[in-house]
Structure 1
Amino acid sequence: MPTAPGTPVVPGGGAPRSGGNLRRNAVWAFVGAVLASAGWTTAVMVVPGMVSSDSAPRSLGSYHLSDDFCATAKPTKLLQTYSVSDTSAPTHHSDRNPALDSMNCSMSLKRTGGTSDSEFASVYLRADLHKAVNPAPELDANKELYRARGYQVTDIPGIGEEAYFLYKDDGSDKYHSVYAELDIRDGGMTYYINYSASYTEGKGKPPSKDELRSTLQSDGQDAVRAMQK
Protein backbone atom coordinates (compact mmCIF):
# COMPACT_ATOMS: atom_id res chain seq x y z
CA MET A 1 0.00 0.00 0.00
CA PRO A 2 -0.26 -0.03 -1.10
CA THR A 3 1.24 -0.38 -0.15
CA ALA A 4 -1.27 -1.84 -0.40
CA PRO A 5 0.21 -0.85 -2.71
CA GLY A 6 0.48 -0.55 -1.38
CA THR A 7 2.39 -0.01 -1.91
CA PRO A 8 -3.35 0.78 -1.87
CA VAL A 9 -1.88 1.57 -0.49
CA VAL A 10 -0.17 0.16 0.82
CA PRO A 11 3.47 0.21 1.95
CA GLY A 12 5.03 -3.22 1.78
CA GLY A 13 7.99 -5.48 1.49
CA GLY A 14 9.34 -7.72 -1.24
CA ALA A 15 8.12 -10.92 -2.77
CA PRO A 16 10.22 -14.08 -2.37
CA ARG A 17 12.43 -15.59 -5.06
CA SER A 18 11.14 -18.59 -6.98
CA GLY A 19 13.12 -21.14 -8.94
CA GLY A 20 16.10 -18.78 -9.06
CA ASN A 21 14.33 -16.73 -11.74
CA LEU A 22 12.67 -13.98 -9.77
CA ARG A 23 14.46 -10.84 -8.77
CA ARG A 24 12.12 -8.23 -7.43
CA ASN A 25 11.54 -6.14 -4.38
CA ALA A 26 8.12 -4.62 -3.81
CA VAL A 27 9.13 -1.26 -2.43
CA TRP A 28 6.59 1.34 -1.45
CA ALA A 29 7.60 4.96 -1.98
CA PHE A 30 6.93 7.38 0.84
CA VAL A 31 6.55 10.99 -0.22
CA GLY A 32 6.96 13.86 2.26
CA ALA A 33 6.62 17.60 1.96
CA VAL A 34 8.05 20.43 4.06
CA LEU A 35 5.96 23.59 4.23
CA ALA A 36 7.68 26.43 6.08
CA SER A 37 6.60 29.92 5.19
CA ALA A 38 4.91 32.83 6.89
CA GLY A 39 2.03 32.60 4.44
CA TRP A 40 1.45 28.94 5.19
CA THR A 41 1.63 29.57 8.95
CA THR A 42 -1.02 32.27 8.61
CA ALA A 43 -3.26 29.99 6.58
CA VAL A 44 -3.00 27.23 9.18
CA MET A 45 -3.98 29.64 11.95
CA VAL A 46 -6.95 30.98 10.01
CA VAL A 47 -8.12 27.76 8.39
CA PRO A 48 -6.80 24.78 10.43
CA GLY A 49 -8.77 22.36 8.26
CA MET A 50 -6.24 22.95 5.46
CA VAL A 51 -3.88 20.71 7.43
CA SER A 52 -6.08 18.33 9.36
CA SER A 53 -8.45 17.43 6.51
CA ASP A 54 -5.77 15.53 4.59
CA SER A 55 -3.71 14.07 7.40
CA ALA A 56 -6.42 13.11 9.88
CA PRO A 57 -6.81 9.33 10.36
CA ARG A 58 -9.64 7.61 8.50
CA SER A 59 -12.07 5.13 10.01
CA LEU A 60 -11.06 1.48 10.08
CA GLY A 61 -14.64 0.33 10.39
CA SER A 62 -14.68 -3.40 11.12
CA TYR A 63 -11.24 -4.12 9.64
CA HIS A 64 -9.05 -5.99 12.08
CA LEU A 65 -5.65 -7.65 12.34
CA SER A 66 -5.31 -11.40 11.82
CA ASP A 67 -2.46 -13.56 13.06
CA ASP A 68 -2.24 -15.65 9.86
CA PHE A 69 -2.72 -13.48 6.79
CA CYS A 70 -1.95 -16.41 4.48
CA ALA A 71 -5.14 -18.03 5.77
CA THR A 72 -7.23 -14.87 6.04
CA ALA A 73 -6.35 -13.52 2.59
CA LYS A 74 -5.67 -16.83 0.83
CA PRO A 75 -5.44 -16.07 -2.94
CA THR A 76 -7.96 -18.74 -3.89
CA LYS A 77 -8.39 -17.64 -7.51
CA LEU A 78 -4.65 -17.55 -8.15
CA LEU A 79 -4.31 -21.00 -6.60
CA GLN A 80 -6.61 -22.38 -9.27
CA THR A 81 -3.69 -21.89 -11.68
CA TYR A 82 -0.79 -22.40 -9.27
CA SER A 83 -0.04 -24.56 -6.27
CA VAL A 84 2.18 -23.67 -3.34
CA SER A 85 5.74 -24.84 -3.94
CA ASP A 86 6.57 -28.03 -2.07
CA THR A 87 10.11 -26.75 -1.45
CA SER A 88 9.21 -23.44 0.17
CA ALA A 89 6.38 -23.12 2.70
CA PRO A 90 4.34 -19.88 2.88
CA THR A 91 5.47 -17.37 5.48
CA HIS A 92 3.38 -14.79 7.32
CA HIS A 93 3.86 -12.14 9.98
CA SER A 94 1.66 -9.69 11.88
CA ASP A 95 2.64 -6.59 13.87
CA ARG A 96 0.64 -4.56 16.36
CA ASN A 97 1.45 -0.93 17.09
CA PRO A 98 -0.59 1.99 18.46
CA ALA A 99 -0.14 3.83 15.15
CA LEU A 100 -0.13 0.96 12.64
CA ASP A 101 -1.15 -2.69 12.55
CA SER A 102 0.22 -4.71 9.64
CA MET A 103 0.05 -8.26 8.32
CA ASN A 104 1.70 -9.95 5.36
CA CYS A 105 2.06 -13.25 3.56
CA SER A 106 4.60 -14.58 1.05
CA MET A 107 4.15 -17.63 -1.17
CA SER A 108 6.35 -19.36 -3.72
CA LEU A 109 4.20 -20.92 -6.42
CA LYS A 110 4.50 -23.53 -9.13
CA ARG A 111 2.15 -23.49 -12.08
CA THR A 112 0.09 -26.63 -12.41
CA GLY A 113 1.35 -28.64 -15.37
CA GLY A 114 4.14 -26.15 -16.12
CA THR A 115 7.22 -27.43 -17.90
CA SER A 116 9.42 -24.33 -18.21
CA ASP A 117 10.74 -21.39 -16.24
CA SER A 118 7.29 -19.79 -16.47
CA GLU A 119 5.91 -22.42 -14.12
CA PHE A 120 7.39 -20.54 -11.14
CA ALA A 121 5.93 -17.40 -9.59
CA SER A 122 5.83 -15.46 -6.33
CA VAL A 123 2.93 -13.76 -4.62
CA TYR A 124 3.12 -11.28 -1.76
CA LEU A 125 0.15 -9.91 0.15
CA ARG A 126 0.06 -7.15 2.72
CA ALA A 127 -2.54 -5.14 4.60
CA ASP A 128 -2.01 -2.16 6.90
CA LEU A 129 -4.43 -0.61 9.36
CA HIS A 130 -3.41 3.04 9.62
CA LYS A 131 -4.52 4.46 12.97
CA ALA A 132 -2.55 7.72 13.06
CA VAL A 133 -2.59 9.07 9.49
CA ASN A 134 -4.66 9.18 6.32
CA PRO A 135 -2.99 6.77 3.85
CA ALA A 136 -4.71 8.21 0.74
CA PRO A 137 -1.92 10.66 -0.30
CA GLU A 138 0.67 7.90 0.01
CA LEU A 139 -1.44 5.60 -2.15
CA ASP A 140 -1.78 8.29 -4.82
CA ALA A 141 1.95 8.99 -4.77
CA ASN A 142 2.74 5.31 -5.14
CA LYS A 143 0.49 5.03 -8.18
CA GLU A 144 2.17 7.96 -9.90
CA LEU A 145 5.64 6.64 -9.17
CA TYR A 146 4.78 3.31 -10.76
CA ARG A 147 3.30 5.12 -13.76
CA ALA A 148 6.51 7.14 -14.13
CA ARG A 149 8.50 3.89 -14.18
CA GLY A 150 6.54 2.61 -17.15
CA TYR A 151 3.95 0.43 -15.47
CA GLN A 152 0.47 0.25 -16.93
CA VAL A 153 -1.97 1.64 -14.35
CA THR A 154 -5.69 0.88 -14.44
CA ASP A 155 -8.21 2.22 -11.93
CA ILE A 156 -10.56 -0.48 -10.62
CA PRO A 157 -14.00 0.74 -9.47
CA GLY A 158 -16.18 -0.97 -6.91
CA ILE A 159 -13.52 -2.11 -4.41
CA GLY A 160 -13.15 -0.03 -1.27
CA GLU A 161 -12.84 3.73 -1.70
CA GLU A 162 -10.21 3.38 -4.40
CA ALA A 163 -8.27 0.63 -6.12
CA TYR A 164 -5.93 0.28 -9.07
CA PHE A 165 -4.09 -2.45 -10.99
CA LEU A 166 -0.43 -2.27 -12.02
CA TYR A 167 1.19 -4.32 -14.77
CA LYS A 168 4.51 -4.55 -16.57
CA ASP A 169 6.07 -7.16 -18.85
CA ASP A 170 9.68 -6.15 -18.90
CA GLY A 171 12.84 -7.70 -20.25
CA SER A 172 15.48 -7.80 -22.91
CA ASP A 173 15.83 -10.13 -25.89
CA LYS A 174 13.72 -13.21 -25.17
CA TYR A 175 13.82 -13.10 -21.35
CA HIS A 176 10.90 -11.36 -19.63
CA SER A 177 9.91 -10.47 -16.09
CA VAL A 178 6.20 -10.02 -15.41
CA TYR A 179 4.89 -7.99 -12.49
CA ALA A 180 1.24 -7.40 -11.55
CA GLU A 181 -0.25 -5.78 -8.47
CA LEU A 182 -3.63 -4.75 -7.10
CA ASP A 183 -3.77 -1.95 -4.51
CA ILE A 184 -6.87 -1.14 -2.46
CA ARG A 185 -7.70 1.55 0.10
CA ASP A 186 -10.85 1.65 2.19
CA GLY A 187 -10.85 4.26 4.93
CA GLY A 188 -7.67 3.69 6.93
CA MET A 189 -7.14 0.17 5.56
CA THR A 190 -4.70 -0.41 2.72
CA TYR A 191 -4.14 -3.76 1.03
CA TYR A 192 -2.12 -5.03 -1.87
CA ILE A 193 -1.35 -8.29 -3.60
CA ASN A 194 1.53 -8.53 -6.04
CA TYR A 195 2.52 -11.27 -8.43
CA SER A 196 5.86 -11.75 -10.18
CA ALA A 197 7.10 -14.35 -12.64
CA SER A 198 9.57 -14.77 -15.49
CA TYR A 199 9.61 -16.57 -18.80
CA THR A 200 11.59 -17.08 -21.99
CA GLU A 201 9.83 -16.56 -25.31
CA GLY A 202 8.89 -19.85 -26.89
CA LYS A 203 9.09 -21.70 -23.57
CA GLY A 204 5.75 -20.99 -22.00
CA LYS A 205 4.25 -17.80 -20.65
CA PRO A 206 2.53 -16.69 -17.41
CA PRO A 207 -1.16 -15.64 -17.42
CA SER A 208 -1.98 -12.61 -19.55
CA LYS A 209 -2.47 -9.09 -18.23
CA ASP A 210 -6.27 -9.42 -18.34
CA GLU A 211 -6.16 -12.81 -16.65
CA LEU A 212 -3.97 -11.46 -13.87
CA ARG A 213 -6.16 -8.41 -13.38
CA SER A 214 -9.27 -10.57 -13.07
CA THR A 215 -7.51 -13.00 -10.74
CA LEU A 216 -6.00 -10.40 -8.41
CA GLN A 217 -9.25 -8.43 -8.36
CA SER A 218 -11.17 -11.53 -7.26
CA ASP A 219 -8.61 -12.39 -4.58
CA GLY A 220 -8.46 -8.76 -3.43
CA GLN A 221 -12.22 -8.56 -3.00
CA ASP A 222 -12.19 -11.79 -1.00
CA ALA A 223 -9.38 -10.51 1.23
CA VAL A 224 -11.15 -7.22 1.94
CA ARG A 225 -14.29 -9.09 2.99
CA ALA A 226 -12.31 -11.55 5.11
CA MET A 227 -10.59 -8.75 7.06
CA GLN A 228 -14.00 -7.47 8.17
CA LYS A 229 -15.31 -10.75 9.58
Structure 2
Amino acid sequence: MGGASGGRSRGNLRRNAVWAFVGALLASAGWTTAVLVIPGMVGNSGDSAPRSLGGYHVSDDFCAVGKPDQLLGKYSVNTSSTSPSHHTDRNPALDSMNCSMSLKRIGGTSDSEYASVYLRADLHKAVNPAPELSANKETYRSRGYQISNITGIGEDAYFVYKDDGADKYRDIYAEVDVRDGGMTFYITYSASYTQGKTTPPSMDELRGMLQTDAGNAVRAMRK
Protein backbone atom coordinates (compact mmCIF):
# COMPACT_ATOMS: atom_id res chain seq x y z
CA MET A 1 0.00 0.00 0.00
CA GLY A 2 2.72 2.46 1.03
CA GLY A 3 4.85 1.48 -1.98
CA ALA A 4 2.01 2.17 -4.44
CA SER A 5 1.30 5.58 -2.86
CA GLY A 6 5.00 6.48 -2.97
CA GLY A 7 5.13 5.49 -6.64
CA ARG A 8 2.20 7.77 -7.49
CA SER A 9 3.81 10.63 -5.53
CA ARG A 10 7.10 10.23 -7.33
CA GLY A 11 5.24 10.04 -10.62
CA ASN A 12 3.43 13.31 -9.90
CA LEU A 13 6.69 15.01 -8.96
CA ARG A 14 8.32 13.82 -12.16
CA ARG A 15 5.34 15.09 -14.18
CA ASN A 16 5.58 18.47 -12.44
CA ALA A 17 9.28 18.74 -13.20
CA VAL A 18 8.85 17.75 -16.84
CA TRP A 19 5.92 20.11 -17.37
CA ALA A 20 7.76 23.01 -15.72
CA PHE A 21 10.68 22.42 -18.09
CA VAL A 22 8.41 22.21 -21.11
CA GLY A 23 6.61 25.39 -20.07
CA ALA A 24 9.83 27.36 -19.71
CA LEU A 25 11.08 25.98 -23.03
CA LEU A 26 7.87 26.94 -24.82
CA ALA A 27 7.90 30.41 -23.34
CA SER A 28 11.55 31.15 -24.01
CA ALA A 29 11.70 29.68 -27.50
CA GLY A 30 8.12 29.87 -28.70
CA TRP A 31 8.61 32.75 -31.09
CA THR A 32 11.59 30.98 -32.70
CA THR A 33 9.44 27.92 -33.31
CA ALA A 34 6.80 30.17 -34.84
CA VAL A 35 9.26 31.26 -37.50
CA LEU A 36 9.60 27.61 -38.51
CA VAL A 37 5.93 26.67 -38.16
CA ILE A 38 4.54 29.80 -39.81
CA PRO A 39 7.06 30.76 -42.51
CA GLY A 40 7.43 34.41 -43.40
CA MET A 41 5.56 35.76 -40.40
CA VAL A 42 8.57 37.51 -38.91
CA GLY A 43 10.48 38.19 -42.10
CA ASN A 44 7.55 39.99 -43.75
CA SER A 45 6.44 41.91 -40.69
CA GLY A 46 7.60 45.34 -41.84
CA ASP A 47 9.61 47.82 -39.81
CA SER A 48 12.35 46.08 -37.84
CA ALA A 49 13.89 49.25 -36.38
CA PRO A 50 14.37 49.11 -32.59
CA ARG A 51 11.72 50.67 -30.36
CA SER A 52 12.15 52.93 -27.36
CA LEU A 53 12.69 51.23 -24.01
CA GLY A 54 10.62 53.95 -22.39
CA GLY A 55 12.33 53.93 -19.01
CA TYR A 56 12.46 50.16 -18.57
CA HIS A 57 15.72 49.10 -16.98
CA VAL A 58 17.60 45.93 -16.13
CA SER A 59 17.91 44.62 -12.55
CA ASP A 60 20.09 42.01 -10.88
CA ASP A 61 17.28 40.21 -9.00
CA PHE A 62 14.17 39.76 -11.11
CA CYS A 63 12.57 37.54 -8.45
CA ALA A 64 12.41 40.66 -6.26
CA VAL A 65 11.41 43.09 -9.01
CA GLY A 66 8.82 40.80 -10.62
CA LYS A 67 7.65 39.08 -7.44
CA PRO A 68 4.29 37.41 -8.31
CA ASP A 69 2.36 38.48 -5.20
CA GLN A 70 -1.01 37.27 -6.47
CA LEU A 71 0.25 33.72 -7.04
CA LEU A 72 2.11 33.85 -3.74
CA GLY A 73 -1.18 34.55 -1.99
CA LYS A 74 -2.25 31.02 -2.97
CA TYR A 75 1.13 29.28 -3.07
CA SER A 76 4.27 29.34 -0.96
CA VAL A 77 7.75 29.13 -2.48
CA ASN A 78 9.10 25.61 -2.19
CA THR A 79 12.64 26.65 -1.26
CA SER A 80 15.47 24.38 -2.26
CA SER A 81 18.99 24.64 -3.63
CA THR A 82 17.55 25.74 -6.98
CA SER A 83 14.36 27.61 -6.04
CA PRO A 84 13.87 30.45 -6.27
CA SER A 85 16.52 31.23 -8.86
CA HIS A 86 17.19 34.28 -11.00
CA HIS A 87 19.67 35.37 -13.64
CA THR A 88 20.44 38.57 -15.54
CA ASP A 89 22.33 38.92 -18.83
CA ARG A 90 23.54 42.25 -20.17
CA ASN A 91 24.42 42.70 -23.83
CA PRO A 92 24.66 45.73 -26.14
CA ALA A 93 21.78 44.32 -28.21
CA LEU A 94 19.65 42.61 -25.54
CA ASP A 95 19.32 42.67 -21.76
CA SER A 96 17.47 39.70 -20.25
CA MET A 97 16.21 38.95 -16.75
CA ASN A 98 14.51 35.80 -15.53
CA CYS A 99 13.19 34.22 -12.36
CA SER A 100 11.87 30.73 -11.62
CA MET A 101 10.09 29.45 -8.51
CA SER A 102 8.83 26.05 -7.42
CA LEU A 103 5.50 26.50 -5.62
CA LYS A 104 3.39 24.51 -3.15
CA ARG A 105 -0.30 25.21 -2.52
CA ILE A 106 -0.69 26.83 0.90
CA GLY A 107 -2.37 24.26 3.15
CA GLY A 108 -2.01 21.57 0.50
CA THR A 109 -1.12 18.02 1.45
CA SER A 110 -0.62 16.17 -1.85
CA ASP A 111 2.18 16.12 -4.41
CA SER A 112 -0.30 17.14 -7.11
CA GLU A 113 -0.57 20.59 -5.52
CA TYR A 114 2.89 21.64 -6.65
CA ALA A 115 3.29 24.22 -9.43
CA SER A 116 5.99 26.27 -11.13
CA VAL A 117 6.17 29.92 -12.16
CA TYR A 118 8.68 31.41 -14.57
CA LEU A 119 9.13 35.10 -15.39
CA ARG A 120 11.27 36.71 -18.04
CA ALA A 121 11.80 40.23 -19.34
CA ASP A 122 13.87 41.23 -22.38
CA LEU A 123 14.98 44.72 -23.32
CA HIS A 124 15.47 44.64 -27.09
CA LYS A 125 17.94 47.34 -28.14
CA ALA A 126 18.66 46.29 -31.72
CA VAL A 127 15.33 45.09 -33.17
CA ASN A 128 11.58 45.66 -33.00
CA PRO A 129 10.19 42.75 -30.92
CA ALA A 130 6.57 43.18 -32.06
CA PRO A 131 6.78 40.49 -34.80
CA GLU A 132 8.19 38.03 -32.27
CA LEU A 133 5.21 38.48 -29.97
CA SER A 134 2.75 38.07 -32.84
CA ALA A 135 4.51 34.93 -34.03
CA ASN A 136 4.52 33.49 -30.52
CA LYS A 137 0.78 34.07 -30.21
CA GLU A 138 0.06 32.31 -33.50
CA THR A 139 2.27 29.37 -32.50
CA TYR A 140 0.22 28.83 -29.36
CA ARG A 141 -3.02 29.19 -31.32
CA SER A 142 -1.88 26.56 -33.84
CA ARG A 143 -1.15 24.17 -30.96
CA GLY A 144 -4.66 24.42 -29.58
CA TYR A 145 -4.09 26.82 -26.69
CA GLN A 146 -6.84 29.28 -25.78
CA ILE A 147 -5.81 32.88 -26.48
CA SER A 148 -7.45 36.07 -25.23
CA ASN A 149 -6.20 39.64 -25.56
CA ILE A 150 -5.48 41.81 -22.52
CA THR A 151 -5.86 45.58 -22.39
CA GLY A 152 -4.25 48.04 -20.01
CA ILE A 153 -0.74 46.56 -19.95
CA GLY A 154 1.79 47.87 -22.46
CA GLU A 155 1.06 48.19 -26.17
CA ASP A 156 0.14 44.54 -26.70
CA ALA A 157 -0.68 41.75 -24.26
CA TYR A 158 -2.50 38.42 -24.27
CA PHE A 159 -3.33 35.43 -22.07
CA VAL A 160 -2.58 31.81 -23.03
CA TYR A 161 -4.22 28.77 -21.42
CA LYS A 162 -4.43 25.01 -21.86
CA ASP A 163 -5.71 22.21 -19.61
CA ASP A 164 -4.37 19.00 -21.09
CA GLY A 165 -3.54 15.44 -20.18
CA ALA A 166 -4.80 11.86 -20.28
CA ASP A 167 -7.28 9.98 -18.07
CA LYS A 168 -7.39 11.54 -14.62
CA TYR A 169 -3.92 13.10 -14.77
CA ARG A 170 -4.02 16.65 -16.10
CA ASP A 171 -1.53 19.40 -16.92
CA ILE A 172 -2.30 23.12 -16.77
CA TYR A 173 -0.31 25.77 -18.59
CA ALA A 174 -1.10 29.49 -18.37
CA GLU A 175 0.89 32.50 -19.56
CA VAL A 176 0.63 36.26 -19.95
CA ASP A 177 2.81 37.95 -22.60
CA VAL A 178 3.34 41.71 -22.75
CA ARG A 179 5.15 44.04 -25.14
CA ASP A 180 5.70 47.75 -24.60
CA GLY A 181 8.05 49.45 -27.04
CA GLY A 182 11.27 47.46 -26.99
CA MET A 183 10.38 45.59 -23.78
CA THR A 184 8.86 42.12 -23.75
CA PHE A 185 7.73 40.29 -20.64
CA TYR A 186 6.05 37.00 -19.88
CA ILE A 187 4.99 35.08 -16.82
CA THR A 188 4.10 31.39 -17.05
CA TYR A 189 2.37 29.02 -14.66
CA SER A 190 2.48 25.24 -15.01
CA ALA A 191 1.11 22.47 -12.80
CA SER A 192 0.02 18.84 -12.80
CA TYR A 193 -2.93 17.53 -10.85
CA THR A 194 -5.07 14.45 -10.34
CA GLN A 195 -8.78 14.85 -10.99
CA GLY A 196 -10.82 14.21 -7.87
CA LYS A 197 -7.77 14.60 -5.64
CA THR A 198 -7.32 18.37 -5.78
CA THR A 199 -8.93 21.33 -7.51
CA PRO A 200 -6.54 23.59 -9.47
CA PRO A 201 -7.18 27.31 -9.99
CA SER A 202 -9.74 27.94 -12.75
CA MET A 203 -8.78 29.55 -16.04
CA ASP A 204 -10.40 32.86 -15.00
CA GLU A 205 -8.64 32.76 -11.64
CA LEU A 206 -5.27 32.14 -13.28
CA ARG A 207 -5.86 34.88 -15.82
CA GLY A 208 -6.68 37.34 -13.03
CA MET A 209 -3.62 36.45 -10.96
CA LEU A 210 -1.17 36.40 -13.85
CA GLN A 211 -2.56 39.61 -15.37
CA THR A 212 -2.20 41.46 -12.06
CA ASP A 213 1.29 40.08 -11.44
CA ALA A 214 2.33 40.97 -15.00
CA GLY A 215 1.07 44.53 -14.63
CA ASN A 216 2.88 44.95 -11.32
CA ALA A 217 6.14 43.55 -12.72
CA VAL A 218 6.02 45.78 -15.79
CA ARG A 219 5.47 48.86 -13.61
CA ALA A 220 8.29 47.82 -11.25
CA MET A 221 10.75 47.68 -14.15
CA ARG A 222 10.28 51.44 -14.64
CA LYS A 223 10.86 52.48 -11.03
TM-score category (smaller protein): 0.7 to 0.9
Once the two structures are superposed, what CA deviation does each residue of 1:64-91 show, in whole Å capped at 9, x if it has no partner? 0000000000001100000000335300
Structure-2 separation of matches of 1:118 and 1:181: 20
C-alpha deviation, 1:54, in angstroms: 1.5
- Counterpart in 1 of 2:72? 79
More helix by share: 2
- Classify the secondary structure of the residue corresponding to 1:57: coil
Cα RMSD between the aligned structures? 1.7
Q: Give the unaligned 5+ runs of structure 2.
A: 1-11
Once the two structures are superposed, what CA deviation does each residue of 1:110-163 show, in whole Å capped at 9, x if it has no partner? 000112233100000000000000000110010001011010000001110010
- Classify the secondary structure of the residue corresponding to 1:129: strand
Larger RCO, structure (CA 8 Å, separation 6 or more): 1
- Counterpart in 2 of 1:168? 162
CA contact (8 A) 2:59 2:97 kept: yes
- Matching of residue 98 in structure 1 with residue 100 in structure 2: no
- Counterpart in 2 of 1:158? 152
2:72 is aligned with what amino acid? L
- Counterpart in 1 of 2:6? none
Structure-2 separation of matches of 1:157 and 1:167: 17
- Classify the secondary structure of the residue corresponding to 1:181: strand
- Classify the secondary structure of the residue corresponding to 1:54: coil
C-alpha deviation, 1:174, in angstroms: 0.5
- Classify the secondary structure of the residue corresponding to 1:182: strand
- Classify the secondary structure of the residue corresponding to 1:179: strand
Aligned partner (choices 95, 112, 119) of residue 118 of structure 1: 112
Structure-2 separation of matches of 1:135 and 1:218: 23
In the comparison of the two structures, how many residue pairs are matched? 196
- Matching of residue 29 in structure 1 with residue 31 in structure 2: yes
Deviates more, 1:140-149 or 1:85-94: 85-94
C-alpha deviation, 1:179, in angstroms: 0.3
2:173 is aligned with what amino acid? Y
Matched residues, percent identical?
68
